Structure 1
Amino acid sequence: MSADREANVLKEQFIPDTIFLFVAKGTIQTYDGNKKSIFRTGDAIIAQKNRLAKYELPDEKDAFEPIVFCFDEDFLREFKAKHNIQPNGSLIGDSFVKLPKNKFINSFITSIKPYHKGIMELEKEFETVKYEELLLILLKVNPELADSLFDFRKPGKIDLEAFMNKHYAFNVSNERFATLTGRSLSAFKRDFKTIFNDTPSHWLVKKRLEEAHFLINKEGRKPKDFYLELGFESLSHFSVAYKNKFGYAPSRQADK
């Protein structure tokens, strides 16, 4: 991967609302802190809300064409009441759920073409009815989605140590980490200090640099190929931080 791939990596890696994505053309690679997935032309995916995720797109212009529907909470609440949906409370674990290929989704994608104006835009007169139609199809294709789609609770308090060790490479604010772990900002910082005996900002940089050291020395990877994956905003920022911690530039070891 080239250094100019910065434009292809999502900076804000929080998914606030449930998203349906259909890959009309090309590929997209995602990472949720646990696993990487690649989705290709014809794949339909649900990206679950209140999750951290990164994605990477092809370098070529016009190589990726998505069709995206974003389900906000107000719409989902109205739909739930209208159709009297009763979730079972069994949430799906993965941040990205690949839907089985089926005729209903394919027919739906074909049906919106006359009204489709852009990635996330339909002719206004057809917007509500098409969103409802898609949601009915999704529930028919995968009924288990109801538990995640119609769960309107805020994230509950979870194991902070496990969460941070899984998501340390995500470059988001302490406020976001606090919300996702079910804490106020002050409680997050207090619990963090108790568990890690460190501040979040210092621990995150240290954790990322330790992983970078492993990738360079044990796997032979080049810094330009992974610094964005570890949450550094630029290669120069990474290089300075690495040299300050280890006493030498990452390029010295990487070039051996």
Structure 2
Amino acid sequence: MITSSLQSCHLGPGISPEQVISDHFFLYLLKGSMLAYSGDKHYHFHPGDSCIARKNHLLRYTKQQQDGDFKKIVIVLDEAFLKRFLARHRVDTGIATSDDSILPVKDDQLLTSFIHSLEPYYRGEAEIEEAFADLKREELLLILLKSDPGLAAALFNFGAPQKIDIEAFMTRNFRFNVPLERFAFLTGRSLSAFKRDFQQIYNDTPGRWLTKKRLEEAYFLIHQQSQKPKDIYLELGFENLSHFSFAFKKQFGLAPTAVLY
């Protein structure tokens, strides 16, 4: 599937919903800017920048318009397509050396020419014609692998997430507001195994620990860095300001605004 936001996307700079990346996708920014946060790293994209967002990773992003507009091209590299590609081409997959959510893509003449070549194929400026979709995806992937063969190790890994250290994962990702089932899957566990292992490490349930950890971070940001509650509650995994304020006061005995000064 190849999609594009060549049509105007009237999105403000607010926090986008949490996203568990279900398939690898290539992103090329045409207009505007974008900030992305992966739990331990921040990324800033400008027009002409491109990257691959990796499957089974967490990502939060904000979009900034330029002259009232935001345009990007997104090309999804789903598992079925990647397996078809692998059957047709000899690729040294290797072993991934990084677990970053975002993989930068080097800009070169081939990639620039490819981006320009897409325009004639768009149907209604939203989606490329189905008859050409796989051909253009294959062309893109050949260009990417020629420029950076190391991408193959990440793209052609079709296994489920392996069992990893819960403590390191949760410390990095506690700000993401995703279901416990997702946290479990991304750490390579069933939900029951995740809860059991979590209890052994923290002597607490995941739900209680997440709330406490997010509130402690909120207290630090408000009290030590003078950030306003309305500017941080979404970033810390709370769905609305009233819920955040209620939980904060229950935890610390004070409203969030009371510790601001």
Asked if Structure 1 and Structure 2 have the same fold, meaning a TM-score greater than 0.5 normalized by the shorter chain, the answer is yes
Contact 2:12-2:64 within 8 A present in 1 as well: no
Q: Give the equivalent residue in structure 1 for 2:254.
A: 248
For the aligned residues, what is the CA RMSD?
1.7
Change (3 A) 1:98 1:177: same
Partner of 1:237: 243
- Aligned residue among 11, 18, 27 for 2:24: 18
Secondary structure of 1:46's counterpart equals strand
Q: Are 1:35 and 2:5 matched, yes or no?
A: no
Which of 97, 100, 104 is 2:106 aligned to? 100
| CA displacement 1:128-163 (0-9 Å, x = unmatched) | 110100010110111100000100011000000110
Give per-residue Cα distances to partners, 1:10-38, cap 9 Å, x unaligned: 32420011010000111010000011110
Partner of 1:228: 234
Is the counterpart of residue 217 in structure 1 residue 216 in structure 2?
no
Task: Note the 1:90-169 alignment, pairs <5 A.
Answer: 90-117=96-123, 121-169=127-175
Structure-2 change in CA distance of 1:74 and 1:223 (3 Å):
same
Contact 1:20 1:46 in 2 (8 A): yes
Pick the aligned partner of 1:55 from 55, 61, 81: 61
Is 1:201 matched up with 2:202? no
Question: How far apart, in 2, do the equivalents of 1:146 and 1:186 lie?
Answer: 33
* Structure 1 alignment gaps of length 5 or more: none
**Cα distance, 1:15–1:6 mapped onto 2, change above 3 Å:** same
For residues 100 and 135 of structure 1, do their structure 2 counterparts lie closer, same or farther at Cα, with a shift above 3 Å needed? same
Q: Is the 8 A contact 1:92 1:144 kept in 2?
A: no
> Separation in 1 of the partners of 2:32 and 2:90?
38
What is the number of equivalent residue pairs in this alignment?
Answer: 251
1:195-232 per-position Cα deviation (integer Å, ceiling 9, x unaligned): 01111111000000000000011111111111111011
Q: Which residue of 1 aligns with 2:79?
A: 73
Alpha-carbon distance between aligned partners in 2 of 1:62 and 1:105, rounded to the nearest angstrom: 27
Amino acid at match of 2:34: I
Deviating 4+ runs (over 6 angstroms): none
TM-score, with length taken from structure 1: 0.93
Take 2:67 and 2:217, find their aligned partners in 1: how far apart are those partners?
32
Q: Letter of the aligned partner of 1:33 in structure 2?
A: G
Q: Which amino acid aligns with 2:115?
A: I
Cα separation, partners in 2 of 1:119 and 1:203, compared to 1, 3 Å: farther
Query: Quick one: which of 182, 188, 213 aligns to 1:176?
Result: 182
| CA deviation profile, 1:157-194 (whole Å, cap 9, x unmatched) | 00001101110000001110010000011000000000
Q: Give the corresponding residue for 2:7.
A: none
Letter in 2 for 1:195: I
Q: How does 1:184-199 map to 2 (within 5 A)?
A: 184-199=190-205
Cα distance between partner residues in 2 of 1:34 and 1:175 = 21
SS of 1:57's equivalent? strand
Q: Call closer, same or farther: CA 1:136–1:59 in 2, change over 3 Å.
A: closer
Verify: 1:9 aligned to 2:33, yes or no. Answer: no
- Shift in Å at residue 248 of structure 1? 1.1
* Corresponding residue to 1:45 among 32, 36, 51: 51
Q: TM-score scaled to structure 2, two decimals?
A: 0.92
1:8: how far off?
A: 3.6
Q: Percent identity?
A: 50
